[in-house]
Structure 1
Amino acid sequence: MVHIDKIDDLREAIATHAAALAAGDSATTEKFVLPQALETHRQAAAEIARIAKPVKVETLALAKVGFQYVSKIRFSGGNETAMRRVLYRWRKEADGKWVIVSVEDTTGKRSSWSDIPDLAAAVAQARAENGNA
């Protein structure tokens, strides 16, 4: 029997966070972000803020990676020419709150691995950081 995680609360957190980003509500978005991800989150949010309103939010993917989840969101303007594509890594805290532990703007990349010159070194670094790769 396959166990499927019940993640409706995560889906709700992702939707709330993305809608707040689209609206430019940094006070709400930053409540989801851990301190180590705050700078990259702010950089991505600044780029999203440059998109002409209204901003369309589209969930492209949600995947479980170990005990964390990665959401891939596309933010685009009304004419679809201005766009940002961002990966958010989410983790559930002991108190049940979902938080963002890392942010990566992948807009100009073929994949999130495009800028990693040595994959073996990247895997070693990921394992050292969280023991989850």
Structure 2
Amino acid sequence: MKKLDDITDLRDAIATHAAASAAGDSAAAEAFVLPQAIETHRHAAAEIARIARPVEVETLALAKIGFQYISKIRFTNGGAMRRVLYRWRKEADGKWVIVSVEDTTGKRSSWSDIPDLAAAVAQARAGNGNA
């Protein structure tokens, strides 16, 4: 039987990042984000910032895909809501970083805007090398 990874430090990073995002603390939230993901992160953060404070944070899912993890977070207050996927990777120094961000608020799934299976496979392979 395979032993499960101890990802307590990842869960802590996710919680810290989500709390900073909910509070509108962009410097603290962006400290987790790699340069290639900063633009999409800022777009998602701008949408989260439109939610009236206080913003509630709910972790919807955490899944391992290859050597990376995907966290699905919902930010809400009253009728306003944003649902965001963050792809996390552990660096050589042990720090967890966000390598991609996708706001899935208006989608049934994160694959909803992929036109066909061939495009989906190509996108997955180009994005992370795990497909």
* Class of the TM-score when normalised by the shorter of the 2 chains: over 0.9
Matched to 2:107, the amino acid is K
| TM-score for both structures, normalised by structure 2 | 0.97
- Identify unmatched segments of 5+ residues in structure 2: none
CA distance in 1, matches of 2:33, 2:67: 17
CA distance in 2, matches of 1:98, 1:27: 16
Alpha-carbon shift at residue 110 of structure 1 (Å): 0.4
CA distance in 1, matches of 2:123, 2:80: 33
CA RMSD of aligned residues (A): 0.9
Alpha-carbon shift at residue 118 of structure 1 (Å): 1.6
CA distance in 2, matches of 1:130, 1:2: 24
- Identify unmatched segments of 5+ residues in structure 1: none
Q: Which runs of 4+ in 1 moved over 2 A?
A: none
Over the matched positions of the two proteins, sequence identity in percent amounts to 84
| TM-score for both structures, normalised by structure 1 | 0.95
2:75–2:82 Cα contact (<8 Å) kept? yes
Q: What is the count of residue pairs matched by the alignment?
A: 131
Q: Report whether the alignment pairs 1:104 with 2:102.
A: yes
2:83–2:105 Cα contact (<8 Å) kept? yes
Report the counterpart of residue 87 of structure 1 in structure 2.
Answer: 85
